[in-house]
Amino acid sequence: MALDILVRVEQQGAYSNLLLNSSLQKSALSREDAGLATELVYGSISRLLTLDFVLDGFVSKGIAKLQPWVRNLLRLSLYQIMYLDRIPSHAAVNEAVNIAKKRGHQGISGMVNGVLRSVLRAEELPVLPENLSPEQRISILHSHPLWMVKQWAAEYGLDTAEAMCAANNEPPAASVRVNLTMISRDALLEQMLEAGLAASPSRVSPYGIVVRGGGNLALTSWYRDGYLSVQDESSMLVAEAVAPEPGMRVLDCCAAPGGKSAHMGELMKDEGYIYANDLHSHKAQLIADQAQRLGLDCIATGSTDALLLARSLEPESFDRILLDAPCSGLGVIRRKPDLKWRKQPEDVASVAALQAELLQSVSRLLKPGGILVYSTCTTEQEENSSVIAEFLGNNPGFTSATFTSPVWQRVQGTALAAGEGLQLLPQHYGSDGFYISRLQRIL
């Protein structure tokens, strides 16, 4: 299964998470085997550059000349040998040879056997040339595109860039947000511990619980009954930064799939009005489904281009606005490892222009004295502090309110102050990279 998925991701540009989920749903794999398939797919994609670098030293004509299924078979076998400690190396080799015999011919299985046995005889891998630049060494060792490493090194320094790359290769923890309108965090945590889950309170959010090895928490009765939502810990900070109060009018501009809208509804105790908008109507339906599951009546949904909201809604009519802007997504590489191979430097510049336009447009809908929160799940300052600096320069009626927020008081020992916002990096808490800036309209 892992091999089939890897081939389709490489050949057809399929998204690994979607393909993996649909494949697992159709399969009859045990929980352990489903976990292994997941590890093999995400691990092989995440470590792709390192695996290819090593294999090129053992495949005489280079791996680019191999058939896609052979190349991916070698990658996922090498991944097990280099990075997994519970699978004996000889078992990984035997499995690879058996698959090669079934799918190919004697020559291919012989080549696969020869390459992997040569790998087993080698010393520590990868063996890096001595003439590499620091950025090249990080790129090969931690399997990230060189342009990305160079960009992060320029923005944050070499040590931080390396820590970001290393953190992106760690398996993500599962985290859930507790619906405090139904149950307290302590009470839900107690239930989870009684059920034998390895659960602990989030260090990042007072609404979060981190669960290790608990399987898919969206399949539990807690989820079905509306006690929890599956959400990354960093993402939980956004609604808290908006700080909506019962009775307020709130706009969530780019709201799907609805996690932050729902969190704001919970913080408002379901009293007030949230207009949750998304570009696509089928995604707006996801928001409505979330609200219904969580027992929230204060959320109304709509689907339009967020750039056009200022035309259809009353100026200065919202107490709070959340612009969780479309972004390059480079803060969530740990969860979506194919992202790092799909993105190019120019993607960052093009989305930054859209973000600036969106922020300028929706800011007209905020009441004087109101709060607008701008957030992204990326680490790129061109999309983050640069967008905010340009906006504040053009809009003297707005001021930064980020560093008076309880969110900043909690994370300031770890998160970075990036311009007029806070920047969480993946190594800070093992959560997603996220940027949050809190702006107040003073005129």
* Per-residue pLDDT reduced to its tens digit, 126-182: 999 999 999 999 999 999 999 999 999 999 999 999 999 999 999 888 999 999 999
Question: Any catalytic annotation for residue 377?
Answer: yes
252 annotated ligand binder: no
Q: Same domain, yes or no, for 286 and 435?
A: yes
> How many separate domains does the chain show?
4
Tell me if 128 is assigned to some domain: no
Q: Same domain, yes or no, for 387 and 245?
A: yes
Long-range contacts of 342-351 (CB under 8 A, 24+ apart): 343/145, 343/148, 344/147, 345/147, 345/151, 348/378, 348/380, 348/382, 348/383, 349/382, 351/326, 351/327, 351/383
Tell me if 129 is assigned to some domain: no
4 annotated ligand binder: no
pLDDT at residue 105 is higher than 90: no
Q: Same domain, yes or no, for 221 and 241?
A: no
pLDDT given for residue 213 in this prediction: 81
65 annotated ligand binder: no
Tell me if 370 is assigned to some domain: yes
Confidence of residue 275 (pLDDT cuts 50, 70, 90): very high
Q: Same domain, yes or no, for 243 and 388?
A: yes
In residues, how long is the chain? 443
Question: Rounded mean pLDDT of the chain?
Answer: 96
Q: What is the pTM of this model?
A: 0.95
3-state secondary structure of 418: strand
Name the token pair of 423.
């920047």
Q: Same domain, yes or no, for 90 and 217?
A: no
pLDDT at residue 425 is higher than 90: yes
Digit-coded pLDDT (tens) for 334-348:
999 999 999 999 999
CA distance 95 to 101: 10
Q: Same domain, yes or no, for 198 and 71?
A: no
Tell me if 385 is assigned to some domain: yes
Tell me if 290 is assigned to some domain: yes
Given a contact cutoff of 8 angstroms between Cβ atoms, the answer to whether 317 and 363 are in contact is no
Tell me if 16 is assigned to some domain: yes
Q: Same domain, yes or no, for 95 and 164?
A: no
pLDDT given for residue 76 in this prediction: 97
**Which of these, 400, 396, 394, lies nearest to 374 by C-alpha position?**
400
Q: Same domain, yes or no, for 269 and 390?
A: yes
Digit-coded pLDDT (tens) for 108-123:
999 999 999 999 999 8
Residue 379 lies in domain: 233-441
Q: Same domain, yes or no, for 244 and 390?
A: yes
CA distance 152 to 134: 12
Q: Are strands 249-252 and 198-201 parallel, antiparallel or unpaired?
A: unpaired
CB contact set of 88 (below 8 Å; sequence gap of 6+): none
Tell me if 425 is assigned to some domain: yes
Tell me if 126 is assigned to some domain: no
What CATH number should be reported for the domain holding residue 16? 1.10.940.10
**Which of these, 144, 94, 113, 99, lies nearest to 6 by C-alpha position?**
99
Q: Where does 356-415 show beta strands of DSSP type E?
A: 366-376, 398-400
Q: Which of 165, 298, 327, 377 is catalytic?
A: 377
pLDDT given for residue 50 in this prediction: 98
419: alpha, beta or left? (left if phi > 0; alpha if psi -120 to 50): left
CA distance 77 to 406: 47
Q: Same domain, yes or no, for 239 and 318?
A: yes
Q: Same domain, yes or no, for 276 and 355?
A: yes
278 annotated ligand binder: yes
432 annotated ligand binder: no
Digit-coded pLDDT (tens) for 214-269:
888 999 999 999 999 999 999 999 999 999 999 999 999 999 999 999 999 999 99
Q: Same domain, yes or no, for 12 and 39?
A: yes
Chain centre to alpha carbon of residue 73 = 27
**Which of these, 270, 276, 181, lies nearest to 229 by C-alpha position?**
181
What CATH number should be reported for the domain holding residue 378? 3.40.50.150
